[in-house]
Amino acid sequence: MLNIYDLEKKWLRYKLRSFLPGMSIFIVLLIVIIAVYVFIDLKKLNILDTTILNTITKEQEHNISKIVQQPLKKEIPVVQSKDISQEIVTPKRVEEAIQLPPHNETPSYEKNILEPSIAFMDTMQNKPIKEVANTQKIVPKNTVQVPKKQAPTTITEKPQAQLTYEANSITIKKQNTYEDIDYVIKRFKKNNNPALSLFVAKKYYELGEYKQAYNYALITNEINNNIEASWIIFSKSLVKLNQKSKAIQTLQQYINHSNSNQAKVLLKEIVSGKFK
Amino acid sequence: MESNIFSSSKDVFLDAVNAKDYVQLDRVSTIYQSLKNSVKKPLKMVLLYGKPGTGKSMFLSKLYQDLSSSQQVHLYQTPILDESEFFKTLSKDLFDIKYTGELNFTQFLVILNESNLYDIPLVLLDEAQLYSSEQMEKIRLLADTRKIKFVITLHKTEREDLIAKEHFQTRIWETIELENASAIELKMYIQKKLMKANCFDGANIFNNKSVQLIHKITKGNYRDTNKLLYTVFDIYTWYSENNPSKINTRQISNKIIEMAAIHTGLIDA
C-alpha cells in the first residue's frame, strides 16, 4: 500500500541530498570567486595608492623644480638673513657642519676633478641628517623673540622658525627647512633626480651652508651638466668658499659650453667684485 | 484523465510473463528471429543468456507460443530440481509414460533410445542456473543423443558464465545474449505496451525527458521498468482520487517517477 505523504517526504529528502554536491561546488566556487575578486581589488587599491603616491611625488618634484628655477635675486636676502639666524638659533653642531676646511689643507674642490668631499660622502651614507634637523627643533621659544631693533625682517623670513602670536592666539607654523632638505635628500637617494639635488643645493646655499651647496651642485652637474641653475649655485658657492678664481674658471668654461646669459651676468658680477 | 485510466495503465505493467504482452521492438525482433532460426538448425542446445529482466523468460514464452502449434514444445518456467522428478516429468510430457516410482538418468536414457518420435521434441528450460552441475551434465548428455533439443536460459553473472564455459564449450551451442533496452527502445516499449492495451492517454504522457529519466533509473531493464511504471501509475491513481490538483495529466511528472523509484527501491533515498 502506498503511503504518499511519507513518499513525498522521502522524495524531498532525496532531492535535497541530490542537490547537495552541486550546491557545495557552487558555494566553493562562489567563495573562490569572492576571494579572487577581493584579492584583485586589493591589488588595484595598492596600484592606486602607488599611482597617487607617484602623482604626489611628481607634483612635489614639479614644485621643487619651480623653486629651483627661482631667480637669484630672491635668494640673496635669505643669505643675508642667515647670519642673524645662525647667531641666534643654530647650535654648535650646525656651526661645525658649515665650517670650512682649514686654509693650509688643500680642499677637495681645488682638484681638477670635481668630486664630493669624503666627509660629505660619509654624511650621505651614514650621518643621519635628522640630528641637524632635530637640533634646529630645540629652539627655545624666547630665541624667536628677537628685539625688533636688531633684525626685524630676518625673523619673519627665517624658514625654520616657529612664530607664535599669543595676543591674537593664532599660531603660524612653518615646516623646518632642514626637515625638508632631509626628506628631499632621502628621495634623491632613491631616484637620483637632479632636480632634487639642485633643490638641496639651493636650500643649503640659502642657509649659508656653502660647502654642502657646492657638493650638491657638483652632484647635480655630474648627473646633468646642462642645468644652468646648478652651475650658478656651484659658482656662487665657490665664491663664498673663497675660491673666486675657480668660480670664474668654471663659469667661463660653462659659458663657452652653453652661452648662458645668466652665467655671463654672474661672471661679470664676480669679476667686478659686485658678488662676494 | 480519469483515475480508472491510470489504473488500467498500471495493470499493463504488472510483472508477469505472458507471451501476449510481448512487445515487438526492432532489436528484440531480430534476436527473436535468430532464436527461431537456431531452433530449426540441427543444434543440440541453444543458450539464451542475459541479465535478469532482459526478457529471457518472455522470449521462451513467446517461442513456446509460436512453435507449440507446429511442433512438440515443452516449457518449464520453474526448474525441477529433483532429478527423478525431472526425468519423470520429461517422460510423461515427451513420451506420455507415467512413472510412479523413482526414475533415474539411465532408465530415462533407455526410454529415450527406445522412443521413435518423428519430430525431435524441444524442451525450454527457464532459470537453468538453478540446476546443479550434475543435472546440467545429464541434460547435456541427453542433448548429445540428438533425440531432445534444449533451449535453456541463464542469468548472466560471472559465475554462471564460467559454468557455461565449462559445460558447453565442447558442445554445439548457439548462444544468444539479451541486453537492456536503450532509451529510444524503452520509449517504444512503454508506448507500444500501453497502446497495445488501448491506454492511449497513458502512452501520450511520456516524453523524451521522462523516458530518459526512467532509463537512467532502470538502466533500460524491462523488469525494473515494468515495476517502476506500475508504481508510477499507482501513485497517479492515488493523486487522481485524493488530490487531483497536484498532478498534470498531460505530461508525466519527474517527481512522481522519482517517488516511484524511491518506493520500489530503485533510488536509495
Band of pLDDT at residue B216, cut at 50, 70 and 90: very high
Q: What is the 3-state secondary structure (H, E, C) of chain A?
A: CCCHHHHHHHHHHHHHHHHHHHHHHHHHHHHHHHHHHHHHHHHHHHHHHHHHHHHHHHHHHHHHHHHHCCCHHHHHHHHHHHHHHHHHCCCHHHHHHCCCCCCCCCCHHHCCCCCCCHHHHHHHHCCCCHHHHHHHHCCCHHHHCCCCCCCHHHHHHCCCCEEEECCCCEEEECCCHHHHHHHHHHHHHHHCCHHHHHHHHHHHHHCCCHHHHHHHHHHHHHHCCCCHHHHHHHHHHHHHCCCHHHHHHHHHHHHHHHCCHHHHHHHHHHHHCCCC
Q: Are B263 and A7 in contact (CB < 8 Å)?
A: yes
* pLDDT score, position A109: 45
Mean pLDDT lowest among A169-173, A232-236, B96-100: A169-173
Of the candidates A2, A8, A14, which has its C-beta nearest B267's C-beta? Answer: A14
Predicted pLDDT of residue A53: 59
User: Are B67 and B39 in contact, with CB atoms under 8 Å apart?
Assistant: yes
C-alpha span between B135 and B105 (Å, rounded): 9
- In chain A, residues 11-40 whose CB comes closer than 8 Å to chain B: 11, 13-15, 17
Which of these three, A15, A49, A68, is where a domain ends?
A68
Domain carrying residue B233: 3-16+181-264
Contact between A223 and A194 under an 8 Å Cβ cutoff? The reply is yes
Report d(CA B268, CA B262) in Å as an integer.
6
Residue B87 shares a structural domain with residue B205? no
Within 10 A of B102 (CB to CB), how many other CB atoms are there? 11
From B239, B242, B262, residue closest to A11, measured CB to CB: B262
Residue type, B24: Q
Question: Does B170 share its domain with B61?
Answer: yes
Q: Residue B259 and residue A10: Cβ atoms within 8 Å?
A: yes
Using a CB-CB cut-off of 8 Å, the residues of chain A touching B234 are 2
Instruction: CATH number of the domain at A205, please.
Output: 1.25.40.10
Q: What is the chain B residue with the closest CA to A11?
A: B259
B259 vs A13: CB contact, 8 Å cut-off? no
The CATH number that applies at residue B88 is 3.40.50.300
3-state secondary structure of B81: coil
Exposed (0-12), middle (13-18) or buried (19+): which is A93, by Cβ within 10 Å? exposed
Give the separation between CA A213 and CA A197, rounded to whole angstroms.
Answer: 9
pLDDT class for A117, splitting at 50, 70, 90? low
Number of domains present in the structure of chain A? 2
* pLDDT confidence tier of residue B39, bands split at 50, 70 and 90: confident
Counting other chains too, the contacts that A183-190 makes at CB distance below 8 Å and 24 or more residues apart are A184/A64, A185/A124, A185/A129, A187/A57, A189/A124
Do B149 and B47 have their domain in common?
Answer: yes
Bridging pattern class, strands A170-173 and B122-125: unpaired
User: Which amino acid appears at position B81 of this protein?
Assistant: L
Contact B55, B222 (CB under 8 A): yes
- Specify whether B88 is located in the same domain as B155: yes
Whether this model's ipTM surpasses 0.90 comes out as no
Chain A residues with CB under 8 Å of B264 CB are: none
Give the three-class secondary structure for B104: coil
Task: Give, rounded to a whole angstrom, the gap between the first and last alpha carbons of chain A.
Answer: 120
Q: Using a CB-CB distance cutoff of 8 angstroms, which residues of chain B are in contact with residue A17?
A: 269
List Cβ neighbours of B100 (8 Å cut-off, separation of 6 or more).
none
Task: Give me the pLDDT at residue B221, please.
Answer: 92
Residues B225 and B242 occupy one common structural domain: yes
Q: Are B228 and B252 in contact (CB under 8 A)?
A: no
For residues A104 and A178, state if they share a domain.
yes
Q: Which of A68, A84, A104 is the last residue of a domain?
A: A68
Span A86-96, mean pLDDT? 43
Identify all chain A residues contacting B255, using CB atoms and an 8 Å cutoff: 11
Say if B269 falls within a structural domain: no
> Which DSSP helix (H) or strand (E) runs through B102?
none
**pLDDT attached to residue A134:** 43
If asked whether residues B235 and B163 sit together in one domain, one would say: no
Domain finish residue from B160, B178, B196: B178
Using DSSP, state whether B47 is helix, strand or coil: strand
Q: What percentage of chain A carries pLDDT values higher than 70?
A: 53
Whole-number mean pLDDT of chain B?
86
In single-letter form, the type of residue at position A222 comes to E
Average pLDDT over residues A52-80: 52
- Read off the DSSP letter of residue B244: G
Closest chain A CA to residue B261: A11
User: Residue A216: which domain range?
Assistant: 75-272
Domain count for chain B: 2
Q: Are B196 and B172 in a shared domain? A: no
Tell me the pLDDT tens digit for each residue of A127-174.
444 444 444 444 444 444 444 444 444 444 444 444 444 444 555 555
* Domain end call among A28, A50, A68: A68
- Taking the CA of residue B256 and the nearest CA in chain A, the distance in Å comes to 9
* Residues B159 and B186 occupy one common structural domain: no
Position with higher pLDDT, A137 vs B40: B40
Nearest-CA neighbor of A93 among A154, A178, A176?
A: A178
On whether both B165 and B190 belong to a single domain, the answer is no
Q: Specify the 3-state DSSP secondary structure of B175.
A: strand
* Residue B124 parent element (H or E): strand B122-125
List chain B residues with CB under 8 Å of A13: 269
Q: What is the pLDDT of residue A177?
A: 77
Alpha carbon distance B72, A41 (integer Å): 86
Res A180: pLDDT: 82
Residues B43 and B147 in one domain: yes
Average pLDDT over residues B148-161: 76
B239 contacts A11? CB cut-off 8 A:
no
| Structure confidence at residue B265 (pLDDT) | 93
Chain A positions in Cβ-Cβ contact with residue B263 (cut-off 8 Å): 2, 7
Tell me the backbone φ, ψ of residue B207, rounded to 5 degrees. Answer: -105, 180
Q: Give the A:B interface size as CB pairs under 8 Å.
A: 30
Set of chain A residues whose Cβ sits within 8 Å of the Cβ of B259: 4, 7-8, 10-11
Average pLDDT over residues B175-192: 90
Q: Do B263 and A14 touch (CB under 8 A)?
A: no
Distance CA B57, CA B64 (A): 10
In angstroms, what CA-CA distances link A204 with A234, A267, B10, B121, B192?
11, 21, 105, 127, 105
Q: Which of A9, A14, A20 to mutate to test the interface with B (most CBs of B within 10 A)?
A: A14
Confidence tier at B38 by pLDDT (50, 70, 90): confident
- B231 or A225, higher pLDDT: B231
CB A184 within 8 A of CB A196: yes
Distance from CA of A14 to the nearest CA of B (A): 5
Beta-sheet pairing, B149-155 with B122-125: parallel
A235: left (phi over 0), alpha (psi -120 to 50) or beta: alpha
Does position A253 have pLDDT exceeding 80, yes or no? yes
Domain limit, last residue, from B178, B193, B220 = B178
Q: In this structure, are B142 and B251 located in the same domain?
A: no
Question: What are the angstrom distances between the C-alpha of A246 and each of A86, A147, A179, A249, B116?
Answer: 27, 40, 32, 5, 146
- Within this chain, do residues B231 and B259 fall inside the same structural domain, yes or no? yes
Domain limit, last residue, from B125, B156, B178: B178
The Cα B73–Cα A55 span in angstroms is 102
Which pLDDT band, with edges at 50, 70 and 90, does B88 fall under?
very high
Q: Tell me, what amino acid is at A101? A: P
Q: How far is B259 from chain A (nearest CA, A)?
A: 6
| Residue A113 shares a structural domain with residue A29 | no
Provide the 8-state DSSP code for B36. Answer: H
